[in-house]
Each structure stands twice: as structure tokens, then as C-alpha cells.
């Protein structure tokens, strides 16, 4: 089948048990397209440098961020074309009605995201998270919260897709640690289905997908 070849990217299932399912798909996006998306997003997105109050002091968020709602947005607040294209490609493969995408720009090895799991209140129950990576490869560390404490190190390559099931967020943490290695810029697009109570008016749906 033709259509199959388009998506046959040597995917591998990293986790599949009662604690969740994690699938990694290298070359989900052809290299030249992934590169074009990276270039567009790097310059077209209004990247924000956040600061957060953590414990006793205010600190920089160690990466740049942006966010878009998907679905029938106003023509004005429409996401960049590369985001819409990526969303379409992800939706075609996963069949999940994602309505939100969070973008992260890791400028170099000093940028990072600490180990965490996505907040379940901001995730529609049962729906997975899909993560598209562009640009430089960064390592993600995924570890089970309870014994057996499996630890996975996944090198997220440009053009890859990582899909983590909803249950994964209950049983695992994930993060992108700082590294002293010299690494180039990486952009990630994290697709989520946010519950109607959280998502902005419009896109949310319920039921019948997995």
C-alpha cells in the first residue's frame, strides 16, 4: 500500500504494559520538510522567555515557549503554517483530535526541562500526547515513578514523533536534562487534547478516539 510507505518510519514501541504505552517514530517527517519547519518556526513564532517563582526565588524558564490552539481559530490568531502542517500530519497518523500545541525552543545544552509529568487536569482522559521534534537531537529521560523503576533514555531526533499514552503521565516522569555536550537548537511541538473546561472555546471534542 502506498499510504503505508509514507508513514513507515521504523517506529518502535518503547513501553507497552499496564503503566502505559510509549512509541517512538524516527523520520516521521522527511528531513527536508522537518528542516523547513524548523527554520520557519524559529523565526515566525513569537517565542516567550518566561520567569517562574519556584520555592524561594524567581528563576528563568530554561527554554523559550509558545502556545497555539488548534481547530477553527480566528484567521488572525491562526498558528503558523508549519504548525498547522505538523498538526495535520500528526492527526492523520494518530487519529487523535488534538486541540492544543505547546512549543519549546531549546537554544543549547543549557536549556532543559526538569523531570515532570503532564498535569492530568489539563489532559482529556484517555488521550495521548504527541511530541514532534525538529532541529538538533536531544536526549529525553523517561523514568517510572514506582518500582520496577525502569529508566529510558530516548534520543529525540529531528523529524521524530514520540507518542505517550495518557496512563504514561500517571506512572512515568519525562524530562530533557541539561547537557555539557555542544548541541544545536531544538524545537518541540507537544500536541495535547485539553478538556473543554480548560481549552479555549471551540475545538474540544469527547469520546470515541484512542
- How many CB atoms are located within 10 Å of the residue 78 CB? 14
Which residue, among 8, 29, 111, 103, has the nearest Cα to 62 in the 3D structure?
111
- Residue from the set 61, 85, 144, 198 that interacts with DNA by CB under 7 A: 61
Question: Is 1 a binder of DNA (CB under 7 A)?
Answer: no
Q: Which of 98, 74, 83 is nearest to 163 (CA)?
A: 98
- Specify the stretch interacting with DNA by CB under 7 A; choose among 31-39, 47-55, 67-75, 162-170: 47-55
Using the rule CB under 7 A, is 62 a contact of DNA? yes
Interacting residue with DNA among 60, 67, 88, 125 (CB under 7 A): 60
CA atoms of 159 and 173, how far apart (whole Å) = 23
196 binds DNA, rule: CB under 7 A: no
Query: Which lies closer to DNA via its Cβ, residue 82 or residue 183?
Result: 183
Describe the chain by its helix, strand, coil percentages, rounded to 5. 20, 35, 45
What is the rounded CA–CA span in Å between residue 120 and residue 172?
12
| Contact between 171 and DNA per CB under 7 A | no
Residues that bind DNA (CB under 7 A): 52, 54-56, 59-63, 112-114, 116, 118-119, 141, 175, 177-181
Amino acid at each position: 500500500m502506498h499510504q503505508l510507505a509514507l508513514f513507515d518510519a521504523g517506529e518502535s514501541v518503547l513501553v507497552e504494559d499496564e503503566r502505559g504505552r510509549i512509541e517512538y517514530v524516527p523520520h516521521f517527517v522527511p528531513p527536508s520538510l522537518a528542516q523547513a519547519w524548523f527554520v520557519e518556526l524559529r523565526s515566525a513564532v513569537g517565542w516567550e522567555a518566561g520567569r517562574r517563582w519556584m520555592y524561594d526565588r524567581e528563576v528563568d524558564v530554561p527554554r523559550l515557549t509558545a502556545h497555539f490552539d488548534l481547530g477553527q481559530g480566528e484567521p488572525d490568531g491562526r498558528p503558523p503554517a508549519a504548525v498547522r502542517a505538523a498538526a495535520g500530519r500528526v492527526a492523520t497518523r494518530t487519529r487523535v483530535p488534538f486541540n492544543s500545541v505547546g512549543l519549546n525552543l531549546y537554544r543549547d545544552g543549557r536549556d532543559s526541562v526538569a523531570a515532570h509529568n503532564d498535569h492530568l487536569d489539563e489532559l482529556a482522559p484517555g488521550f495521548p500526547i504527541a511530541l514532534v521534534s525538529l532541529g538538533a537531537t536531544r536526549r529525553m529521560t523517561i523514568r517510572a515513578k514506582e518500582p520496577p523503576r525502569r529508566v529510558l533514555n530516548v534520543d529525540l531526533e529531528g523529524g521524530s514523533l514520540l507518542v505517550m499514552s495518557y496512563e504514561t503521565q500517571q506512572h512515568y516522569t519525562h524530562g530533557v536534562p541539561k547537557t555539557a555536550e555542544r548541541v544545536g537548537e531544538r524545537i518541540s511541538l507537544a500536541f495535547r487534547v485539553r478538556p473543554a473546561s480548560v481549552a479555549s472555546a471551540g475545538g474540544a471534542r469527547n469520546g470515541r478516539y484512542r
